[in-house]
Structure 1
Amino acid sequence: MSVCTRCGATFQCGQTDPRTSGPCWCVALPPAVPVPGSAAVGCWCPACLQAHIATLTPPVKAITSAN
């Protein structure tokens, strides 16, 4: 389990948990940039990361593969 460096919630991070198979859940989200001046460095839980992405302007779109 990982701990969100923004809110302290615990969550499963596919990058750090050797028991997971496949990529982390966060790779399905649009890319985000760090919050300037934030002390919260590291992985964020799904709720915090999604909330941060929602505040970005212009809105970013998820990358989808063309099949």
Structure 2
Amino acid sequence: MREITNRTVLTVLRHDGGWSVEQDGDYFGQSADKEVAKAAAHRRALSLHESGRACQVRISGEHGFWGRT
């Protein structure tokens, strides 16, 4: 398997009383609903992928990834 070291990471996490997506210190996709924030992250990931950039979507609290809120 090829390791991709230069990829964009999008993280869905709790932020300002709701859910947001964090990318390089910037937040977008704010919503009270986690699923809406996840959809925003996946839309951005698709856009990045289509432009030729590698990316990863992480969901805080799912699959062992936990972050401070």
Question: Shorter chain as normaliser: what TM range?
Answer: under 0.3
**Structure having the larger proportion of residues in strand:** 2
Structure with greater Cα Rg: 1
Question: TM-score scaled to structure 1, two decimals?
Answer: 0.27
